[in-house]
Amino acid sequence: MAKDFFMIAPDHPSFYLFLLFGTVAVITALNVIFQKNPVVSAVSLVFTFFSLAGIYAIMGAFFIATMQVLVYAGAIMVLVVFVIMLLSQRAETLSKFWDNPLKVLALSVFGMLFFFTLFSALQWGVPKQNPETKGYTVSELQTQYQYPINGGTSVTAEGNVAAVGAATYLDYVLPFELLSILLLVAVVGAVILAKRRLTTESTKDSTL
Amino acid sequence: MNALISGIPSVYFLALAGILFSIGLVGVLIRRNAVIIFMSVELILNAVNLVFVTFSKTLLNVSGEVIVFFVMAIAACEAAIGLALVIAIFRQNKSSNVDELQSLKW
């Protein structure tokens, strides 16, 4: 077990990508919880999400990598930063990071290199090479998934995205629909939470 | 377990997920700012997603990736509701510090 754990595969280029993305993910995750300024935490969390997207890419889970960038690094982080802006910041938590141009330059260079590497990982990420199957048969091209339907006919899904989509809409239709209801409830709940205060304020004003 | 994913042992991915989960847990426990606690919860969810994708690739079963998609959608719901709650509490108490919230205390 220990030998397996320390087995390193440095001949494979994906391993270096994994090392890079894993290191960045851990360092930025530590940065998230140990920074005083919530804005710096949020930016670190964006980097964590992007490095996890890179890790999904080198695993061959391209659909998840795309969703990671769109949903987590995009939508959820926009919400978080929006809320941080609405909360009043105390002066002592604001960082002096942007006062030092050398640090800003270093961060910019690191960011450019990081996103270049992320792009190449999405481009060159190697899916798992294994003909063994469980529920899905993988063709020799490693990109085709035969999705069986009850009657015996089957849907051929080419690529990771198509396979995940086929599984979502054939196997998991009910959870998918329930999820849409849950999203609707969340939206309505958020609106009610935002609205209640306004209505009480207006009634208070009218009584005064 | 010695299954390789793209030439990398799957144990590495699981170890990374464990580290990220622990970091998120520590963040939830030690921080008092509600928004940072929220971000730590997001870290925990991401660690779990990584475990799902790892086993999905190890067992060659696409269902794990579908579940990661569901987890992401539920995290989006959680973000909408949770952050609306943070804003509502901040309006009420002028603070997003969870130590100062005592309205449910009796």
The pLDDT assigned to A181 comes to 94
Count the domains in chain B: 1
The answer on pLDDT for A97 being more than 50 is yes
* Residue B103 located in a structural domain: no
Higher pLDDT, A132 or A197: A197
Q: Is the dihedral of CA A160, A57, A70, A189 positive or negative?
A: positive
Give kind and range of the element (H or E) at residue A109: helix A101-124
Inter-chain CB proximity A171 and B66 less than 8 Å: yes
* Residue B102 located in a structural domain: no
Q: Which domain holds residue B23?
A: 10-95
The answer on pLDDT for B23 being more than 90 is yes
CA distance readout (Å), A137 to A130, A134, A157, A172, B69:
11, 7, 10, 19, 22
Nearest residue to A58 (alpha-carbon basis) of A73, A68, A46: A68
Q: Select from B6, B59, B73 the Cβ nearest to the Cβ of A58.
A: B6
* Residue B78 located in a structural domain: yes
Closest CA–CA distance from residue A206 to any residue of chain B (Å)? 20
Give yes or no for a contact between A136 and B62, defined as CB atoms under 8 angstroms apart: yes
Average pLDDT score over chain A: 76
* Residue B5 located in a structural domain: no
pLDDT grade for A200, boundaries at 50, 70 and 90: low
For the entire predicted model, the pTM comes to 0.82
Interface with B, mutate which of A1, A58, A83, A185 (most B CBs under 10 A): A83
Nearest-5° angle of CA B11, CA B16, CA B18? Answer: 90
- CATH number of the structural domain spanning residue B47: 1.10.287.3510
Q: Report ipTM for this prediction.
A: 0.91
Burial A150-159 (b: 16+ CB within 10 A, else e): eeeeeeebeb
Give yes or no for a contact between B60 and A136, defined as CB atoms under 8 angstroms apart: yes
pLDDT tens digits, A35-49? 888 888 898 999 999
Q: Which residues of B touch A41 (CB under 8 A)?
A: 36, 39
Continuous H helices in chain B: 10-30, 34-58, 63-93
Alpha-carbon gap, residue A142 to A125, rounded angstroms: 13
How far is C-alpha A47 from the geometric centre of its chain's CA atoms?
10
* Residue B85 located in a structural domain: yes
pLDDT tens digits, B43-69? 999 999 999 999 988 887 788 889 999
Interface check for B104 against chain A (CB to CB < 8 A): the answer is: no
pLDDT grade for A114, boundaries at 50, 70 and 90: confident
